[in-house]
Amino acid sequence: MQQHLLTEHPSILNCFLAEMRDRHIQKDSMRFRRNMERVGEVFAYEISKTLNYQATDVQTPLGVAATKLPVDTLVLATILRAGLPLHQGFLNVFDKAGNAFIAAYRKYGKDNKFTIQFEYLSAPDVTGKVLILMDPMLATGASMVLAYQALVSKGKPLHTHVVCPIASRDGVEYLQRHLPEREATLWLGDIDPELTVKSYIVPGLGDAGDLAYGNKIK
């Protein structure tokens, strides 16, 4: 599976990710959401370079301008709730895209072991469309693979782009093993080296959903 690590080439994305990680700045939930939204806009721009385009003429008040416009139909898919600001960033760029939402969460048992509980999917048919599946944090990778499988049960996309601004090395390897090599592309911000015994990313940034929308009942 092709992989892009955007921070290999430093850009303004580094600033947004750094502020999202900073334990002082991230106390401002509005700032955290806005940074995540801007991260989504950067990823959307990069992915736009891979789409299919068609030559088109645009009539201006003074003449005709030749340009190329995208012809792919997109579906933006998000794992709730942490992914909502990231989704909005993509929607700011791909404002004609269809939208899909997946509810999945960790259910913990004994010894810090957990299973991924899948509860809800709202999605259009993805057949022949470019699917962009996003989640701010890629820890084990299990929920991302589950979400992908649920979405492709609704049809076969033309191609799938998986977007994770902050990922663990273990999660990346898991996706490489479980997603189709030629039918998916992985887009990453930073890759972090560790997972804790509870599968939290280190250094990571904490719980993205809580930082964006407030603490949930445990």
Spatial distance between the Cα atoms of 14 and 189, rounded to a whole number of angstroms: 8
Spatial CA neighbour of 166 closest among 196, 207, 132: 207
Spatial distance between the Cα atoms of 192 and 194, rounded to a whole number of angstroms: 6
Q: What mean pLDDT is predicted for residues 150-160?
A: 93
218 lies in some domain: no
Cis before residue 61, ω within 30 degrees of 0?
no
CATH number at residue 79: 3.40.50.2020
Query: Which range marks the domain in which residue 209 is found?
Result: 2-55+67-213
- Min mean pLDDT across 47-51, 100-104, 182-186 is at 100-104
Q: Which residues contact 55 (CB under 8 A, 6 or more apart)?
A: 66, 67, 68
60 lies in some domain: no
Spatial distance between the Cα atoms of 180 and 44, rounded to a whole number of angstroms: 22
- Min mean pLDDT across 51-55, 95-99, 178-182 is at 178-182
Domain total of the chain: 1
pLDDT (tens digit, 9 = 90+) per residue, 100-120? 999 876 665 666 665 566 678
- Min mean pLDDT across 36-40, 92-96, 140-144 is at 140-144
37 lies in some domain: yes
21 lies in some domain: yes
